[in-house]
Amino acid sequence: MKWKYVLMSVVALPFCAGYAVADTQAPWGSATEIHQTYSGQKVVFDTTSGTLAGLTSVLDRASYISQIGGADPMDGKIVIVLHGESIPFFAIRNYKKNRALMQRAYSLSVGDIVEFRLCKAAAHLQGFQPRDIHGFIKMVPMADAEIVRLQQEERFSYMR
C-alpha cells in the first residue's frame, strides 16, 4: 500500500515545482500587466439591456474606451445602438425615474465621440414616436441594419 502513496507523490512533484506548495490561493502567481496605447477606436455597442445596471455598464465601457483613446472625435467614434428593452429608459415620460442615467448618457454625447442611435421600428412597436424620445438621441430605421451598416461600410468593431 505504501508504494501507491510514494508513486502519487512522485507524479505530483513536477506539477508543484517552482511554486510554493503552501500558497493555495495563487498557485500561478499574479497577472502581468501589458502597457498598451489605444487610438482610432470605432466601436458600435449593440444594446438591448432593460436594466439600470446593464445600461450603466454600457455607458461605463463606452466612456472608458473614449478616455483611453484620447477622446479625439477626429480619431474615434462610439455609437451606442439602442433597441429592445433599453428603449423605455430613453423615453421623455420616464425621465424622472431615470434622471441620473439620462444625464450621464447626455453628458457622454456632448463631445461628439459617443452617439446614441435608437431603433425607430422597435420604438414604434413599443408605442414610442420620435417626439417621445430625448433630443440627444438619433433615430434610425432599424437597429440591426444600422449595426451591420456601421460594421460593413464604416469599419466599426462590434461590442455587446
SS3 (DSSP) at 69: coil
Which range marks the domain in which residue 49 is found?
A: 42-159
Can you tell me the distance from the alpha carbon of 159 to that of 93, in angstroms, rounded to the nearest whole number?
A: 29
- pTM here is 0.80
Grid coordinates given for 117: 442611435
The CATH number assigned to the domain holding 79 equals 3.40.1260.10
Per-residue model confidence (pLDDT) at position 22: 55
Residue 115, domain member (yes or no): yes
* Neighbouring residues of 68: CB distance < 8 A, sequence distance ≥ 6: 38
Query: Exposed, middle or buried, 21 (CB in 10 Å: 0-12/13-18/19+)?
Result: exposed
Domain assignment of residue 22, yes or no: no
Q: Is residue 85 part of a domain?
A: yes
| Residue 59: how many other CB atoms lie within 10 Å | 20
DSSP 37-56: -----EEEEEE---SHHHHH
Whether residue 105 is contained in a domain is answered as yes
User: Is 14 part of any domain?
Assistant: no
Instruction: Tell me if 114 is assigned to some domain.
Output: yes
Whether 4 is covered by a domain: the verdict is no
- 119: β partners: 140
Total domains present in the chain:
1
Phi-psi region at 70: left, alpha or beta (left = phi > 0; alpha = psi -120 to 50): left
**Domain-located, residue 111:** yes
Taking only the tens of pLDDT, the chain with its 160 residues reads: 454 544 444 444 444 455 445 568 999 999 999 998 887 789 999 999 999 999 999 999 999 998 887 666 557 899 999 999 999 999 999 999 999 999 999 999 998 899 999 999 999 999 999 999 999 999 999 999 999 999 999 999 999 8
